Amino acid sequence: MVGLETIDTPGQRFVPVDEILARAPEKTRKARQPLAIPVTIRPNKHLAGLTSAVHTHVVPDALYGIEYVIDNEKRYRFFALECENRSPKRRTTARLSSLALKRAAYEAVMQQRGYREVYGVPSLAMQIIGSESSLVSDIRLLEKHALGSGFG
């Protein structure tokens, strides 16, 4: 859908995951799961059940970019997409909520900027899509909209 939208927009080009991975560091290109970003989730007030650091990987459901031409200079915005189909309201604690853990993991990815090393991209915005209206707040908390000038 995003790809179709950029077709008719002058100065924009959809950048598919295959192109992003083709320009990624060699270690990523050869990885068994090239979209996996290693991350450390540390205990915080939003995850009451988490008592020690957790070392894990985040694998977005989709990865894509948009190339913008501004003043004859190519700039990029990259997006990781997470599709959440479960209701976090049905769970009793953050410890049991997959959405809470995903949110914490993606917040850590943004803070640690692991996407730079893994994907070789200068910036990344996180988008969570789901059926719950409460997810809108998660989208706003995780989006990073800085345009990056370097890619690959």
pLDDT, greater one: 60 or 133: 60
The DSSP bridge partners found for residue 15 are: 65
The DSSP bridge partners found for residue 78 are: 65
Nearest to 58 by CA among 1, 133, 119, 11: 119
> pLDDT grade, residue 2 (50/70/90)?
low
Distance from C-alpha of 68 to C-alpha of 140, rounded to nearest angstrom: 22
Task: Name the average pLDDT for the chain.
Answer: 79
pLDDT tens for each residue of 79-109:
999 887 655 555 444 444 567 777 888 888 9
The helix (H) or strand (E) run that includes residue 4 is helix 2-7
Domain residue limits, the chain = 2-142
Place of tokens 């949110």: 103
> Over 90: is that where the pLDDT of 1 sits?
no
> Over 50: is that where the pLDDT of 32 sits?
yes
pLDDT tens for each residue of 43-75:
877 777 788 898 999 999 999 999 999 899 999
Rounded mean pLDDT, 122-143: 62
Distance from C-alpha of 106 to C-alpha of 51, rounded to nearest angstrom: 18
pLDDT of residue 84: 72
Q: Dmax of the chain from CA atoms? A: 52
Distance from C-alpha of 24 to C-alpha of 117, rounded to nearest angstrom: 8
Distance from C-alpha of 6 to C-alpha of 12, rounded to nearest angstrom: 6
